[in-house]
Amino acid sequence: MKKAVEKICVPVARSRSRTPVATYSSQYRRTASPPRDQYLRYYEIARKTEKKPKILITGGLGQLGRSLASIYKFMYGEDSVILSDICKRPENVTELAPFQYLNIMDRNAIEEAIVNNNVDTIIHFSALLSAIGEANVPLALQVNCQGVQNVLEVSRIHRLKVFIPSTIGAFGPTTPRVSTPDLTIQRPRTIYGVTKVFAELLGEYYFEKYGVDFRSLRFPGIISDVQPGGGTTDYAIQIFYDALKYGKHKCYLRHDTALPMMYNDDCMASVINFLSTPSTKLSMRTYNVTGISFTPAQIAEAIQRVIPHFQIEYDICPIRQKIADTWPQSLDDSTARQDWNWSPEYDLDQTVNIMFKLLSKKLNIPLPFESYKEEPRTKVLESLEQNVSPAFITSLAESTPKVATL
Ligand SMILES: NC(=O)c1ccc[n+]([C@@H]2O[C@H](COP(=O)([O-])OP(=O)(O)OC[C@H]3O[C@@H](n4cnc5c(N)ncnc54)[C@H](O)[C@@H]3O)[C@@H](O)[C@H]2O)c1
Ligand SMILES: C[C@@H](O)[C@H](N)C(=O)O
């Protein structure tokens, strides 16, 4: 897959289209104080849950699956989550939820996994992302449409709760690009976008017609320390690897290409909070969620505040640039804020700081100076000690570092 993306991104000509420079300081810009510890929030949710869910994650070895599985394990125990995928687990990853091979093209196999493990919730992450999808349209159609159809059918038959993420890619060039609302024009020009609109609409149809508890969030580009799977927003992760390893990054998007993004912890929190919200509180089944919006030039500037010698160059990939030019520059997620108290925590500087902290550990490359002062974990534990059992404190202390280093 990686090879296919590289192939389509051999630069041929510089794109002439221009988008207005985005302002990073969105209406939701937050202060520079360290984000709250998400684990307190997860603990609260787990404590209030009457029946522990049993969750199957498809496409679980991709960018998003493993950290979500770790959090669910922390919340509801080792046997609460099953990760599945069609690829082998990476060699260096030892800490995983129970794992099994599952091809989402095989509906019987999905049913077998559901029935054998008494699953009540599917988190369907299997997909081909935007750039890789353009490189293999028939496969994108199969995985993103047939896969969704299989998952929804199985959810209907076995009365499952089902989460299928959507994306900013579900919008297109005729969509208002600044503060894009939940309900607006959706005429995407990528196969990824087309299949994601299909997933949103089919999921909502299954909800209306059969009462399937379908839920979806339109994610922006997600930034984490896990290598991404072939999207248009991937540069916003690669830039951190390159900054640490080489002190420079060659960006395939123009300097002024603004896109909405979100740090991984906020993404995980959005899924967990959304799925734990009672159905009665949801006014919609598909919501926008977002964190921050920035351009390559703006993230480069933020990186230079940590690594002053960092340099960015531009070598435009016409295919990815064309995709980015049709996507929103910022999202309006006010309905999610209103309906289920959605509230992201990480601004651009906090994202940069935590990314360097994680990658410096992962790649074993020291930072020029200590960039991130975290709330000491002992403080979080102290604040919990007043209310909860010693066994829980031990499990929190043990599980948290694993999530960060997976
Ligand atoms: N990462 C982001 O920035 C982002 C943003 C918006 C939406 N999303 C959505 O979130 C979900 C997860 O994204 P991700 O970044 O983890 O994707 P990813 O590309 O990293 O992982 C997708 C996984 O799906 C698996 N897969 C492919 N074909 C399969 C098949 N036939 N059966 C089973 N598994 C198969 C792949 O092996 C891969 O591990 C996707 O639906 C994606 O559209 C992601
Ligand atoms: C935005 C999202 O859907 C994905 N990261 C992509 O670029 O394709």
**Cβ contact 302:347 at 8 Å:** no
| Cβ < 6 A, ligand 1 pocket | 58-59, 61-65, 85-87, 102-105, 125-127, 129, 143, 165, 167, 219, 221-222, 228-229, 231, 233
Q: Residues with beta carbon inside 6 Å of ligand 2? A: 129-130, 167-169, 192, 221, 231-233
Ligand 1, closest atom to CA 61?
39
Ligand 2: which of 186, 234, 239, 325 to mutate, judged by most atoms within 8 Å of the beta carbon?
234
Give distance in angstroms: CA of 60 to centre of ligand 1.
Answer: 8
**Which stretches within 17-120 are classed as H helix?**
38-48, 65-76, 107-117
Q: How far is the CA of 89 from the centre of ligand 2 (A)?
A: 22
State residue 379's pLDDT score. 47
Cα 288 to middle of ligand 1, angstroms:
18
Separation of CA 220 and ligand 2 centre (Å): 7
In this prediction, residue 201 carries a pLDDT of: 98
Q: Of the ligands numbered here, which is closest to the C-alpha atom of 264? A: 1
* Cα(232) to centroid(ligand 2), Å: 6
Q: Which two tokens stand for residue 184?
A: 């607006």
- The atom of ligand 2 lying closest to the CA of 228 is 5
Distance 9 CA to ligand 1 centre (A): 20
Give the residue among 64, 31, 114 at the shortest CA–CA distance from 346: 31
**Nearest C-alpha neighbor of 165 from the set 108, 133, 122:** 122
Task: From the CA of 142, give the closest atom in ligand 1.
Answer: 31
| pLDDT for 8 | 43
> Which ligand sits closest to the CA of 232?
2
Q: Is position 235 annotated as part of the catalytic site?
A: no
Nearest to 216 by CA among 262, 271, 172: 271
Bridge partners (DSSP) of residue 83 are 57, 99
Nearest-ligand number for the alpha carbon of 63: 1
The structure tokens listed for 389 are: 């059992």
Give, using CA atoms, the residue closest to atom 8 of ligand 2. Answer: 231
From the candidates 39, 42, 192, 252, give the one annotated as an active-site residue. 192
Question: Six-digit token pair at 28?
Answer: 């939701």
Which of 271, 393, 398, 250 minimizes the C-alpha distance to 344? 271
Distance 205 CA to ligand 1 centre (A): 23
- Counting ligand 2 atoms within 8 A of each CB, the residue from 167, 200, 292 with the most, and so the one to mutate, is 167
Choose the residue to mutate in 5, 63, 99, 171 for probing ligand 1, maximizing ligand atoms within 8 Å of C-beta: 63
Q: What is the pLDDT of residue 90?
A: 80
Q: Each residue's pLDDT tens digit in the chain (406 positions)?
A: 444 444 444 322 223 233 332 333 333 334 345 566 778 879 888 988 889 999 999 999 999 999 999 999 999 998 999 999 999 888 777 667 799 999 999 999 999 999 999 999 999 999 999 999 999 999 999 999 999 999 999 999 999 999 999 999 999 999 999 999 999 999 999 999 999 999 999 999 999 999 999 999 999 999 999 989 899 999 999 999 999 999 999 999 999 999 999 999 999 999 999 999 999 999 999 999 999 999 999 999 999 999 999 999 999 999 999 999 999 999 999 999 999 999 999 999 999 999 999 999 999 998 876 554 444 444 444 554 444 444 444 554 444 433 333 2
| Residue 181: predicted pLDDT | 98
Q: Tell me, what's the pLDDT at 405?
A: 30
Ligand approaching nearest to the C-alpha of 100: 1
* Nearest to 35, CA basis, from 402, 344, 370: 344
Q: Is there a contact between 249 and 312 (Cβ–Cβ < 8 Å)?
A: yes
